[in-house]
């Protein structure tokens, strides 16, 4: 497992396990399997409705708490200073934790215009030691610049849609300038067409790997944090087996050529 050091000195695993759109029952089993395989980072959100299941799997795993990195996110309807503090308490209780590793604002929801006050609330949670690091998700450059200018506090992480079809080069450049870690959701672009792409399949055949492993390895070599999801034990193990090979510069260049700018999720400037 490779790790990255966040801008506040906290260490975060570069490969995590996501549970978006995973049912309550499946979450317990999938997270348990992921922890058995070797994952030590789990990413959930209030909106996913499975924080309690994540907490149960973590408690049942026997993995020491200090080896785990648990992330959850605050939903749009809980934005605002006081509302965010209450939402955090609810998530922490559902997870069964005394301290969270990373708390994110799930979306900027610009039409609500509350994300600056929400960010101030996260700053208080961090200052109080209730969360080890704070960040955002789906923030565009103007959203990032606004919270930094308004509060003087730079997010440790921005979790965004990112895959070979949507490589977010400009956003990653701004992240690098501010020391913000880039975390990719939907890292495989929801599979299907991307994993069937001739370039990805050709690179996979060359390395004796699966298309998904090639794309995940691409993320890691770019420096992204990545959180693939699966409920299938074989796929959970497959997605973890990406640390014993390396893509060459030609491979990386070919994947860079797959950019189309197409999203599989909502536009952060419009989603509220």
Model confidence pLDDT, tens digit, residues 142-186: 999 999 999 999 999 999 999 999 999 999 999 999 999 999 999
Domain ranges for the chain, please list them.
10-189+226-231
Q: DSSP for 25-88?
A: HHHHHHHHHHHHHT--EEE--GGGT-HHHHHHHHHHH---GGG-EEEEEE-GGG-SHHHHHHHH
- Chosen CATH of 10-189+226-231 out of 3.20.20.100, 3.20.20.70, 3.60.15.10, 3.60.110.10: 3.20.20.100
Q: pLDDT tens for residues 27-44? A: 999 999 999 999 999 999
Q: Which of 39, 48, 103, 115 is catalytic?
A: 48
Active site residue 48: yes
Supply the pLDDT for residue 213: 98
Determine the Cα–Cα distance for residues 30 and 41; give it in Å rounded to an integer.
13
Whole-angstrom Cα distance, residue 236 to residue 30? 8
Contact 118, 153 (CB under 8 A): no
How crowded is residue 125: how many other Cβ atoms within 10 Å of its Cβ?
Answer: 18
Share of the chain above pLDDT 70, in %: 100
pLDDT surpasses 90 at 191: no
- Check residues 190 and 75 and name the one with the higher pLDDT: 75
| Partners of 160 in the β-ladder | 184
pLDDT (tens digit per residue) in 80-139: 999 999 999 999 999 999 999 999 999 999 999 999 999 999 999 999 999 999 999 999
């Amino acid at each position: 497992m490779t790790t990255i050091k966040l801008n506040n000195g906290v260490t975060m695993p570069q490969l995590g396990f996501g549970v978006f759109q995973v049912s309550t029952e499946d979450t317990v089993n999938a997270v348990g399997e992921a922890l058995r395989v070797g994952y030590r980072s789990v990413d959930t959100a209030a909106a996913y409705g499975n924080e309690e299941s994540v907490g149960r799997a973590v408690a049942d795993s026997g993995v020491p708490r200090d080896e785990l990195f648990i992330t959850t996110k605050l939903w749009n309807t809980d934005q605002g200073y006081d509302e965010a503090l209450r939402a955090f308490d609810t998530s922490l209780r559902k997870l069964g934790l005394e301290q969270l590793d990373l708390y994110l604002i799930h979306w900027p929801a610009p039409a609500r215009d509350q994300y600056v006050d929400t960010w101030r609330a996260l700053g208080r949670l961090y200052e109080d030691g209730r969360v080890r690091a704070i960040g955002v998700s789906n923030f565009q450059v103007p959203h990032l610049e606004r919270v930094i200018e308004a509060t003087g506090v730079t997010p440790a992480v921005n979790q965004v849609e990112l895959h070979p079809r949507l490589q977010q080069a400009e956003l990653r450049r701004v992240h690098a300038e501010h020391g913000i870690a880039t975390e990719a959701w939907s890292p495989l672009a929801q599979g299907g067409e991307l994993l069937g792409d001739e370039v990805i399949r050709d690179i996979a055949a060359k390395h004796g790997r699966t298309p998904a492993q090639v794309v995940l390895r691409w993320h890691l070599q770019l420096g992204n944090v990545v959180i693939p999801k699966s409920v299938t034990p074989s796929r959970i193990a497959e997605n973890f087996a990406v640390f014993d090979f390396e893509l060459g510069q030609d491979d990386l260049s070919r994947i860079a050529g797959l950019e189309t700018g197409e999203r599989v999720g909502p536009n952060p400037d419009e989603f509220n």
